[in-house]
């Protein structure tokens, strides 16, 4: 008896333990900090790894927008490169654009920005034609850059022994060699002189930056739980549930009715036929369900603050859909413009290398002009044109016509006709009209003024005679 009792107790304890473990697991996978499902990688507040970041960017709309769409918006409209000189050569800009197009630089830079924003760092490997023995050696007498390839920490790494250990070196702590991993091929080393390293958010490491998702990850976890809970509420409760009454039924009859499984597929599109002994009705939340908006709003505000993307754009609102949408658009593209400035050094680095190989003509100085991604309405375009015309009209008070034309990239007027300040000329004409015996009314030229003076003088002589 004692043995049987002990066995029964052990079995009951084991069953209870399994049940408790399963309950904890179910709670964690549904309402806990890990999100909806066991595939959610990091707990709330935990350190992140590459798997966590990849899961977020694949499954979370906010993460995808913050990483992919922002990176694409940075380089979407691309840029022009202009020579900075007294007489800049416009052909040089076109030559640079052609070389960058041939290297597919826009696509490579966009992908490098995606990697850098997602993992905190990336680099662009340059395939050189040079005199170096192999890619693990420094670039030697470069002749041409033939290819650009973007790498992330998924395809490359830097071993501790491959960092610069010399405290007196300008590259102290930075990578000397990158280890490249390619599917179906052995690992190879790449010298830093054959790469352009990207990292715009350096915090506690010399060359590894912080992922843009780190600041958002906990809020994304909360947002994911809220979305999952809302979906479960709609699925389980919000549509109502069936309440069945078996009049005068015993417990055994109720259990038999359940086992018959007659109402397993009953929903609002099916029907039930029953007698007086059965009653069935759908009972919903009847207004007792919580309004999710007060809980959702703080999370969206926090995500907007961390990503610096306006709430309306984060939600996916289009221009004209919400009041102030144009303001949100300007704010967003102001944010994009600030990011473009962070990536300019990498563009300079590539152009300087292309000038060194002779693929681009050397110039003393140049600048990058980003093309705005903000699309103005026709009304706004007309308003801008009017303001520019008014500004140019004001400049005629102190600038010559040729100087104003030069600002519009137009040549001077022939025969020196543009070497006049219209404002000064008008002032002189006003002084003629305001002088004693001067003309009044419409604007007159110098010849008309002289003829008028001669006629007035002759009239005065006739009166005196």
pLDDT for position 465: 57
Q: Is the pLDDT of residue 74 over 50?
A: yes
Closest of 362, 433, 454, 417 to residue 89, by C-alpha: 362
**pLDDT reading at 399 higher than 50:** yes
pLDDT value of position 400: 86
**Does pLDDT of 12 surpass 60?**
no
Buried b vs exposed e over 357-378: b needs ≥16 C-beta within 10 Å?
bebbeebeebeeebeebeeeee
Q: What is the rounded average pLDDT for all residues in the chain?
A: 78
Pairing of strands 79-83, 122-129: unpaired
284 pLDDT tier (thresholds 50, 70, 90): low
More confident residue, 276 or 192: 192
Residue scoring higher pLDDT (8 or 91): 91
The rounded distance, in Å, linking the Cα atoms of 393 and 377 is: 24
How many Cβ atoms sit within 10 Å of the Cβ of residue 426?
13
Task: Label residue 9 by pLDDT band (50, 70, 90).
Answer: very low
Residue 164 has pLDDT above 60, yes or no: yes
Phi, psi of 236 (to 5 degrees): -95, -35
Give tens-digit pLDDT for 19-52.
Answer: 445 444 443 433 333 344 434 567 777 788 888 8
Average pLDDT of the residues in 83-98: 91
By percentage, how much of the chain surpasses pLDDT 90?
A: 35
Choose between 341 and 12: higher pLDDT.
341
Taking CA atoms, 365 is separated from 86, 107, 191, 358, 362, in Å, by 11, 26, 28, 16, 9
Which strand (E) or helix (H) includes residue 126? strand 122-129
pLDDT surpasses 70 at 237: no
pLDDT at 365: 94
Helices (H), 360-421: 378-395, 401-407
pTM for the full predicted model: 0.67
Question: What values do phi and psi take at 225, rounded to 5?
Answer: -65, -40
pLDDT at 392: 82
Measured distance CA(12)–CA(353) in Å, rounded: 74
CB atoms under 10 Å from CB of 327, counted, come to 12
* pLDDT score, position 205: 92
pLDDT band at residue 86 under the 50/70/90 scheme? confident
Q: How far apart are CA 347 and CA 317, in angstroms?
A: 32
d(CA 373, CA 371): 7
pLDDT digits (tens, 9 = 90+) for 95-124: 999 999 999 999 999 999 999 999 999 999
pLDDT in tens, 409-423: 788 888 888 888 877
pLDDT digits (tens, 9 = 90+) for 420-463: 887 766 666 666 555 555 544 444 455 555 556 566 666 666 66
Report whether pLDDT(163) > 50.
yes
* Structure-model confidence comparison of residues 277 and 465, the more confident one: 277
């Amino acid at each position: 008896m004692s043995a049987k009792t002990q066995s029964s107790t052990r079995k009951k304890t084991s069953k209870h333990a399994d049940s408790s473990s399963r309950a904890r697991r179910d709670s964690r996978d549904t309402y806990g900090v890990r999100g909806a499902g066991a595939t959610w990688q990091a707990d709330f507040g935990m350190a992140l790894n590459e798997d966590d970041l990849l899961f977020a960017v694949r499954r979370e709309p906010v993460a995808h927008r913050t990483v992919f769409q922002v990176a694409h918006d940075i380089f979407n409209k691309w840029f022009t490169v202009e020579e900075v000189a007294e007489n800049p050569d416009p052909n040089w800009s076109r030559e640079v654009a052609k070389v960058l197009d041939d290297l597919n630089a826009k696509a490579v830079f966009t992908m490098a920005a995606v990697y850098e924003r997602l993992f905190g760092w990336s680099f662009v490997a340059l395939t050189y034609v040079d005199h170096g023995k192999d890619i693990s050696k420094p670039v030697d007498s470069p002749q041409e850059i033939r290819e650009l390839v973007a790498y992330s920490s998924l395809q490359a790494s830097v071993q501790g022994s491959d960092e610069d250990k010399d405290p007196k070196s300008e590259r102290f702590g930075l990578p000397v060699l990158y280890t490249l991993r390619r599917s179906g091929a052995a690992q190879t080393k790449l010298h830093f002189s054959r790469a352009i390293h990207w990292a715009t958010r350096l915090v506690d490491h010399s060359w590894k930056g912080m992922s843009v998702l780190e600041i958002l990850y906990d809020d994304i976890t909360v947002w994911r739980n809220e979305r999952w809970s809302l979906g479960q509420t709609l699925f389980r409760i919000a549509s109502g549930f069936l309440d069945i009454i078996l009049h005068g039924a015993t417990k055994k009859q109720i259990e038999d009715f359940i086992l018959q499984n007659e109402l397993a597929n009953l929903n609002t599109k099916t029907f039930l036929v029953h007698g007086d002994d059965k009653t069935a009705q759908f009972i919903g939340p009847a207004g007792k369900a919580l309004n999710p908006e007060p809980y959702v709003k703080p999370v969206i505000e926090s995500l907007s603050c961390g990503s610096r993307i306006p709430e309306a754009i984060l939600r996916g609102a289009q221009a004209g859909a919400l009041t102030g949408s144009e303001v949100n658009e300007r704010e967003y593209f102001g944010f994009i413009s600030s990011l473009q400035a962070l990536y300019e050094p990498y563009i300079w680095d590539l152009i300087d290398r292309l000038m060194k190989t002779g693929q681009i003509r050397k110039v003393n100085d140049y600048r990058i002009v980003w093309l705005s991604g903000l699309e103005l309405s026709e009304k706004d375009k007309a308003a801008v044109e009017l303001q520019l015309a008014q500004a140019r009209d004001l400049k005629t008070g102190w600038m010559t016509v040729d100087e104003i034309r030069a600002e519009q990239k137009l040549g001077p007027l022939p025969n020196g006709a543009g070497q006049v300040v219209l404002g000064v000329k008008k002032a002189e004409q006003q002084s003629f009209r305001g002088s004693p015996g001067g003309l009044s009314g419409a604007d007159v030229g110098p010849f008309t003024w002289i003829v008028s003076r001669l006629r007035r003088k002759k009239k005065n002589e006739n009166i005196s005679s």
